[in-house]
Structure 1
Amino acid sequence: NYQDHLALKINLCPDDFIESAVNAIQFHAGSCFTHAILNPPYRKINSHSQHRLLLRRIGIETVNLYSAFVALTILSMEVGGQIIAIIPRSFCNGPYYRSFREMMLRHTAIRHIHLFNTRNQVFKEDGVLQENIIIFLERGQAQGDVIVSTSSDNNFIDYKTCVYPFHQIVSRDDPERFIHIPAPIKSAGETVKLFPIFGCSLADIGVEVSTGPVVDFRVKAHLRAMPETGTVPLIYPTHFEQPSIKWPKLGIKKPNALMLHPETEKWLYPSGFYTIVRRFSSKEEPRRVVATILKPDEFDTNLIGFENHLNVFHHARSGLSEEMAHGLSLFLNSTAVDHSFRRFNGHTQVNATDLRSIKYPSREILMTLGKWAKDQTILTQTQIDQKLASLTL
């Protein structure tokens, strides 16, 4: 109870916060608070709900109550006003929170971010299975360096802290405005070793990435448990068996094949070399990004189906060169990429947008990696990391 520790006059307002704050901001009664502490609710906002319509009146476009509460609080603060919020870190990346990120970075300076390293300890009674952060913002102030601290849980026993220049938190040339939160480290110097500098976009190396286009429930009539005459392979995450794909698989719950039909043909890719990444990883897996290679000689068909829970690296909707497919797979399976990815992604989902945001080695480096990797049998994590380091240090 704050009144037990501070001489405060408390006024409890039983109003709908979104409605009340929107009205105050609309009619210029906002911008009057100097301090705010938030532990906002976590729930999606329906796109046609009254709350969503109210938020749009004042230019706030967001998909969750927690980000709506933070946005309204920002607009309700005086210049120099300070905000501390404990929230999931899902807003740090992805297209759905881009508008919120832009609004927050436009109106506030980030002073301090605290990251809880465990997903299920801080709010286990609420069932929130995302990494949570505490963020300290100041309204209308110049952005400077950012303090980043970490602890396993809210006991703060293993509390660590480090200071980063802002361009390491939000990249100057990132149109998505992803917010990168460094993983737990021992010292600032260690981050240089873990995050080698790569400067190429996928466009620079002539590669695209897309979500697997086959949504199985939409083509349910054409699914087949096993391949038969007139079918093509349908690849799911369950077919991943490093370093390649095992297809068909007996005894799985998912179908192995898709009938070739005018309704399905538009979703298929020509046979070729592809690097594919699972869109979802389990919490227990050591890496968020899990990539493998699909090889054309493993199939006797001219077309391949990629299910919607995969991301597919391709060139103009066709296969890659064998060397590029192997080089991309090696790079994406590296510890450097895993650490880099965890800086802005706090959940187990890996979207095509996230993969587009990663900076890649040059085409030449990837081809060199691929020429080496394709002649190996099974690569250990140490071999992957050492080979990548040998070409980039």
Structure 2
Amino acid sequence: MKKLTEKACPAIEIFIIFCFSFYHQNRHTGDKHLLAQVEHTRRTASRLADPQQKSRLGQFFTPASIACFMAELFVPNRRKNCILLDAGAGVGSLSAAFLDRWVDGEFDYKHIELHAFEIDETLHPYLRQTFELYKKKPTITSTIRSDDFIIAACDWLENNLFARPLPKYTHAILNPPYKKIRSNSEHRLALRRVGIETVNLYSAFVALSLALLDDHGQLVAIIPRSFCNGLYYRPFREYLLKKAAIRHLHLFTSRSKAFKDDNVLQENIIIHLERGGMQGPVKVSTSTDHSFNDLTVQEHPFDRIVFVNDQERFIHVPTALNQNIVERCPMVCWSLDDIGLTVSTGPVVDFRVKAHLREMPGVGTAPLLYPGHFSDSGTEWPKAGKKPNAILCNSDTKKWLYPNGFYCLVRRFSSKEEKRRVVASVIEPSLFGDAPLIGIENHLNVFHENRQGLQKVLAYGLAVFLNTTAVDEQFRCFNGHTQVNATDLKTIRYPSRKILTVIGEWAIRQPALTQEKIDNYFETLTT
């Protein structure tokens, strides 16, 4: 097991000692650590669960190692009593991990009152079985609620006359369901009534749990990383940052291993929040998977987590202690607005204009460009294959087309195996002869100047800058999925127009551009 950094917190070190014993020496049995028994229950419940029911509810059960890690993030305090919320409790793994810490004497609470919300009543026997393990502790009381957590919490926060009362919780530990919320659904309308605007059940659970916490109450949740960036999650990020201080972020660097039993291909993080806390430095830890064998912990100032002038309030998860070139270079400080450029999603959605698409260019058509037309070796158009190469140019399609010219393009999607997430290319107008208009398909982002082409040197300079390893590293700090949205590209800081032109002039002179050559040149330019 690798050593932690010198800045690792005592709670993490305690966890490593426990986890090592749990998995390699199997000492935690009997009454001392009851989570081991709950883990057996979890595996049974996961195996027997109806896959369609799990999908409908967005259910994913928490492995014991993750539950332990999450429970260890709570900081002991001087409260005499604890009121714990476990919303979306499943079989009770998270509650059991928290209670085990209390049984071990790490929390000095005289009494723990536990509220477990679980809408799937088929899991209630497992939950009762879990809580039965702690019946010898008379100072623990537990309540299982089968009602819909979102509706119950919203009714209470809205002061609904018929709402069942909820307390001010001192702690919340969550593995909430992951499922999109329809804009016209009962959940979405209920959330809006209490001032919460969000698009997924997991962010709704976190927001409501924060709203139900007492002042300086603590929340630990394992959730998808998708909320860290993107337009749709901006209201949630603003709500979270207004209500709480971020204390700890843990990133699983593998997409598939944290919840491998449930085949979850999602980049997940664990977040520790303190409601109403004063924001200070943030601990950031990483591990490949739920074994935590390669756990590392670093501490970062908050302005590396949320940039001071970032209106989108993106949440970055830096994986290196030192700032990369983009962060520390004073010349990379301009917004796209500052340099007079715009980035947009490619306007041609092919299935909506299917009747106008043509396999090959011909009379009355405009070139149509897909990501597949671009590669490291250059642009290949037209290209034989499954995708069309042209679109009819007529009164129905002209509004979706751009004037032929130099443009910088960035693919919107990349596979998780690719080395770089940000992949930029340049449109060379000479490739299309005298075609006055071109079509850019929806899976590409396009940099333009008021819907017009760019200067050649500017287009190449922009593409080279975006293709640097430094930009890709910076991008991955706030983007945890394979999609590169125009909003993300607007958030990045850029060199000035003049510097981008210098980069472009250099790039055009090169007989070939390799990743090493691009990175070496950019580093020279910024030192």
- The alignment's TM-score, normalised by the length of structure 2, stands at 0.72
Q: Amino acid of the residue matched to residue 136 of structure 1?
A: H
| CA distance in structure 1 between the partners assigned to 2:376 and 2:426 by the alignment | 9
Counterpart of 1:377 in structure 2 is: 511
| CA distance in structure 1 between the partners assigned to 2:250 and 2:171 by the alignment | 18
Alignment match of 2:428 (pick from 285, 295, 298): 295
Q: Amino acid of the residue matched to residue 287 of structure 1?
A: R
1:20 corresponds to 2:152: yes
Tell me, yes or no, if the aligned pair for 1:92 and 1:179 is still in contact at 8 Å.
Answer: yes
Alignment match of 1:141 (pick from 261, 277, 284): 277
| CA distance in structure 2 between the partners assigned to 1:237 and 1:30 by the alignment | 52
Counterpart of 2:249 in structure 1 is: 113
170 and 139 in structure 1: CA distance in 2 versus 1, 3 angstrom threshold: same
1:74 corresponds to 2:210: yes
Alignment match of 1:265 (pick from 377, 398, 405): 398
1:167 corresponds to 2:299: no
1:39-58 equivalences under 5 Å are 39-58=175-194
| CA distance in structure 2 between the partners assigned to 1:19 and 1:26 by the alignment | 10
Alpha-carbon distance, 1:295 to partner: 0.5
Say which SS state the counterpart of residue 73 (structure 1) adopts. Answer: helix
Tell me, yes or no, if the aligned pair for 1:330 and 1:370 is still in contact at 8 Å.
Answer: yes
| CA distance in structure 1 between the partners assigned to 2:343 and 2:167 by the alignment | 43
Residue identity over aligned pairs, in percent, reads 57
243 and 210 in structure 1: CA distance in 2 versus 1, 3 angstrom threshold: farther
| CA distance in structure 1 between the partners assigned to 2:524 and 2:498 by the alignment | 14
| CA distance in structure 1 between the partners assigned to 2:511 and 2:288 by the alignment | 37
Alpha-carbon distance, 1:14 to partner: 1.2
Q: Amino acid of the residue matched to residue 15 of structure 1?
A: D
Counterpart of 2:267 in structure 1 is: 131
| CA distance in structure 1 between the partners assigned to 2:290 and 2:306 by the alignment | 26
Alignment match of 2:491 (pick from 357, 372, 379): 357
Alpha-carbon distance, 1:269 to partner: 0.6
Say which SS state the counterpart of residue 397 (structure 2) adopts. Answer: helix
Tell me, yes or no, if the aligned pair for 1:267 and 1:305 is still in contact at 8 Å.
Answer: yes
Instruction: Report how many aligned residue pairs link the two structures.
Output: 388
1:221 corresponds to 2:355: yes
Q: Amino acid of the residue matched to residue 307 of structure 2?
A: S
| CA distance in structure 1 between the partners assigned to 2:232 and 2:158 by the alignment | 24
Tell me, yes or no, if the aligned pair for 1:234 and 1:258 is still in contact at 8 Å.
Answer: yes
| CA distance in structure 2 between the partners assigned to 1:363 and 1:196 by the alignment | 19
Say which SS state the counterpart of residue 66 (structure 1) adopts. Answer: helix
Tell me, yes or no, if the aligned pair for 2:344 and 2:445 is still in contact at 8 Å.
Answer: yes
| CA distance in structure 1 between the partners assigned to 2:370 and 2:516 by the alignment | 27
Say which SS state the counterpart of residue 517 (structure 2) adopts. Answer: helix
193 and 220 in structure 1: CA distance in 2 versus 1, 3 angstrom threshold: closer
Greater Cα offset, 3-12 or 204-213: 3-12
RMSD between aligned residues: 1.5
Tell me, yes or no, if the aligned pair for 1:194 and 1:339 is still in contact at 8 Å.
Answer: no
| CA distance in structure 1 between the partners assigned to 2:399 and 2:156 by the alignment | 51
Alpha-carbon distance, 1:219 to partner: 1.1
| CA distance in structure 2 between the partners assigned to 1:182 and 1:377 by the alignment | 35
Say which SS state the counterpart of residue 9 (structure 1) adopts. Answer: strand
168 and 274 in structure 1: CA distance in 2 versus 1, 3 angstrom threshold: same
- List alignment gaps of at least 5 residues for structure 1: none
Tell me, yes or no, if the aligned pair for 2:234 and 2:313 is still in contact at 8 Å.
Answer: yes
Greater Cα offset, 374-383 or 49-58: 374-383
Q: Amino acid of the residue matched to residue 9 of structure 1?
A: T
Tell me, yes or no, if the aligned pair for 2:325 and 2:523 is still in contact at 8 Å.
Answer: no
Say which SS state the counterpart of residue 12 (structure 1) adopts. Answer: strand
Alpha-carbon distance, 1:351 to partner: 0.5
Say which SS state the counterpart of residue 263 (structure 1) adopts. Answer: coil
Alpha-carbon distance, 1:31 to partner: 6.0
Say which SS state the counterpart of residue 353 (structure 2) adopts. Answer: helix
Counterpart of 2:201 in structure 1 is: 65
Say which SS state the counterpart of residue 262 (structure 1) adopts. Answer: coil
Counterpart of 2:168 in structure 1 is: 32
Q: Amino acid of the residue matched to residue 350 of structure 1?
A: V
- List alignment gaps of at least 5 residues for structure 2: 1-37, 39-95, 104-136
Counterpart of 1:249 in structure 2 is: 383
Per-residue CA shift, 1:15-68, capped at 9, x if unaligned?
Answer: 111111111212295561001100000000011111111111101110000000
1:9 corresponds to 2:9: no
Alpha-carbon distance, 1:228 to partner: 1.2
With a CA cutoff of 8 Å and minimum separation of 6, indicate the structure with the bigger relative contact order.
Answer: 1
Alpha-carbon distance, 1:365 to partner: 1.3
Say which SS state the counterpart of residue 499 (structure 2) adopts. Answer: helix
Tell me, yes or no, if the aligned pair for 1:30 and 1:77 is still in contact at 8 Å.
Answer: no
